[in-house]
Amino acid sequence: MAWTSEKKHTIQHALILLSLSALVLVVLGRSTTVDVDFWGYIAFGRLFWHSNSFPYQDIFTYLPTTGQWIYHEWLTGTILYPIYTFAGDPGVIILRDLVALATLAFLYLAARIRKSHRASALFWLVLISGFLGMGYWAVVRAQTFTYLFTALTIYVLERSRWKGQRSLLLILVPIQIIWCNMHGGFLAGLGIAFLYLIGDAFSHRTYWPYLPVLLLLVLSSLANPYGVDYWTYLFHAITLPRRDITEWASILTAYQTHTMSLSLIFYYMFIGIFSLRMLFWWNWQEITPILVLSVTFLLGLEHVRHQVFFLMVTAVYLPGLIQPYIKDLQARSTSLGARLRQNLSAVFLRSTRMTRAFITAVPILLFCVILGSSSFSLMIPSYQKGVIIYYPTGALEYIRRNHLSGNILTEFMWGEYLIWNLGPRMKVALDGRYETVYQGHVANQYFDYMKGKEKEFLDTYAHDMVLFKPDSPPVDSIRSNPDWKGVYEDMGSILFMKARTPMPSL
């Protein structure tokens, strides 16, 4: 029985979906290290689900706070906590992979709306698949959802432009409401919509529908537990100099501090230069995509965490530019190759239903093999030489075994991990919630102390314990301080307690 056109399209779409799924699993399958912010999300989620009212006040730190706790990722925490509680490690990892797959799918669909060929769109997704490693390597961050909503926003904008369906822009409003409660990155959606307005205005395209939609998007962002105070916080957060947060560093600073490898820098710059080359080669005249590409590329140079946005938008705008090369390769294929393809196509079309089913099943089998080899257990690494992120698992076990409680001064990267495992009976200073909780001058004092620039921080606040990496600058001064004694030490962490506390020393 001959295949109908509808069946062929259905199979093609299924194979494309499998290809994207396989790409996600190949890139992310072995990446299951838990990001430090994950513990803060689920700690808030636990607090939210077990409280009688919305938690507007922080209960996890003993340092001076900003007053109202404006946690812009609160909805992420309330979603992740029940998933982690009831579905465990696999639930969180599968969620991460599904969100990544949906992000790729929206990028692919947006490229297709722009008349890109399937092969071109898929090729570019493979080319920029490194953004999965950059943006999704850790399980799970609120940025994960920002990438998804960014791809969805671009898809809606492109569909509105190319299909002339301006009413679709209203879909951005409910997207914005969900987005702004999951992550402060919803500003990216506002920014992209604004760039579309500017670009289409200069291109003499219909731009006025963006004006009321942008107003609605701003107003819809007020649908959050904090109201107008959310925007006050955002203004403060945007203008805050994050000198000690590595992902907010420039690409040059990230390289100098060894937080971004030379290979990743080459990767990002290669995509950028290659994209620029394509734009000039084809003398591209479409202002809106050029504007979005330029702004996101420059933001990626200024802050490494923004590089993902540039890589994503290239997957939408640039596949159409490489189509002539793909067609040229097809035209230049040898006659032998052409005959081989023709023969294979003839065999496929004339084969029995069972044979066709077998041939179609091959990608599915490969996908299942990749799926079976993927890890579905969260990795909470203890100290290992050369690792970037690890957790003080031994010290945590010691604290639990001895039923310790009180105030603990710890590494910035470990704060949220301790909040989840020990809070609120044990309070921390300082942690990755940063400007959402802590006063600016307090955070600066902490970071200066951690760099060995000042020592007063240890005596200014009511610390009962100190948990640091053995090579942290303050450790030597604490060792020589008679007011403190070491009670636990391993290769990755050392725990001090006040000398007056009746605990066994090393």
Per-residue pLDDT, averaged over 189-206, amounts to 92
In terms of domains, do 276 and 131 share one?
A: yes
| Predicted confidence (pLDDT) per residue in 132-146, tens digit | 777 777 778 899 999
| Residue 272 belongs to a domain | yes
Is it the case that residue 62 has pLDDT exceeding 50? Answer: yes
Distance CA 103, CA 98 (A): 8
From the CB of residue 237, how many other CB atoms can be counted at a distance below 10 Å?
16
Least confident of 14-23, 64-73, 400-409: 14-23
User: Which long-range CB contacts under 8 A does 226-233 form with residues at least 24 apart?
Assistant: 226/68, 226/70, 229/68, 229/70, 230/70, 230/72, 230/180, 233/70, 233/72, 233/435, 233/436
| Banded model confidence at residue 211, pLDDT cuts 50, 70, 90 | very high
Q: Is the pLDDT of residue 198 over 90?
A: yes
**Cβ-contact 200, 241 below 8 angstroms:** no
| Mean predicted confidence (pLDDT) in 463-477 | 94
Which of these three, 305, 324, 343, is where a domain ends?
324
**Do 111 and 237 have their domain in common?**
yes
329 contacts 232 by C-beta, under 8 angstroms:
no
The model's pLDDT over 63-117, given as tens digits with 9 standing for 90+, comes to 999 889 999 999 999 999 999 999 999 899 889 888 888 898 899 999 999 988 8
User: Are 277 and 168 members of one domain?
Assistant: yes
User: How would you list the strands of the sheet with 465-468, edge to edge?
Assistant: 426-429, 406-410, 465-468, 494-498, 484-489
Query: How does pLDDT run across 236-288, given as a tens digit for each residue?
Result: 888 777 666 777 778 888 877 777 788 888 888 888 888 877 777 666 778 89
Distance separating alpha carbons of residues 304 and 301, to the nearest angstrom: 6
pLDDT at 244: 64
* pLDDT per position as a tens digit, 407-447: 999 999 999 999 999 988 999 998 998 889 999 889 989 99
Please check whether residue 230 is in contact with residue 224, taking contact to mean a CB–CB distance below 8 angstroms. yes
Confidence of residue 327 (pLDDT cuts 50, 70, 90): low
Out of 183-192, 236-245, 386-395, which region has the weakest mean confidence (pLDDT)? Answer: 236-245
Token readout for 58 is 């922080």
Beta-carbon contacts of 70 under 8 Å, excluding residues fewer than 6 positions away, are 226, 229, 230, 233, 436
- Domain assignment of residue 335, yes or no: no
Q: Give a yes or no: residue 353 inside a domain.
A: no
Asked whether residue 344 is assigned to any structural domain, the reply reads no
Question: Which of 278, 38, 259, 275 shows the shortest CA–CA distance to 136?
Answer: 38
- The pLDDT of residue 505 is above 50: no
Do 425 and 461 sit in the same domain of this protein?
yes
Which pLDDT does position 434 carry in this prediction? 87
Q: Are 488 and 443 found together in one domain? A: yes
Residues 63 and 166 in one domain: no
Residue count (the chain): 506
Longest dimension (CA), the chain: 87
Contact status, residue 90 vs residue 376, Cβ threshold 8 Å: yes
Give the chain's domain count. 2
More confident residue, 445 or 118: 445
**Are 296 and 244 contained in the same domain?**
yes
Contacts of 420 (CB under 8 A, 6+ apart): 39, 40, 42, 43, 46
State how far Cα 277 lies from the chain centre: 28
DSSP state of 434: G
pLDDT of residue 427: 95
Please indicate, yes or no, whether residues 302 and 421 belong to a single structural domain of this protein. no
Instruction: Look at residue 123 and tell me whether its pLDDT is greater than 50.
Output: yes
Average pLDDT, the chain: 83
The verdict on residue 362 lying in a domain is no
In a domain, 336, yes or no: no
Q: Are residues 387 and 246 in the same domain?
A: no
Inter-residue contact 147 to 312 (CB < 8 Å): yes
- CA pair distance 170, 174, nearest whole angstrom: 8
* 347 pLDDT higher than 70: no
Percentage of the chain with pLDDT > 90? 46
Q: What is the pLDDT of residue 334?
A: 47
Q: Are residues 160 and 201 in the same domain?
A: yes
Q: How confident is the model at residue 368 (pLDDT cuts 50, 70, 90)?
A: low
Mark which of 324, 357, 372 sits at the end of a domain: 324
Same domain, 204 and 257: yes
DSSP designation for 247: G
Q: 3-class DSSP state for residue 379? A: strand
State the residue range of the domain holding 472: 31-69+380-506
| Beta bridge partner(s), residue 486 | 496
Q: What are phi and psi of 137, to 5 degrees?
A: -65, -30
> For 447-451, what is the mean pLDDT?
92
Residues 59 and 163 in one domain: no
Q: Which of 14, 149, 23 is nearest to 97 (CA)?
A: 23
Look at 180-189, 292-301, 316-325 and tell me which has the smallest mean pLDDT.
316-325
Strand pairing report for 426-429 and 406-410: parallel
Q: Which pLDDT value is given to residue 456?
A: 87
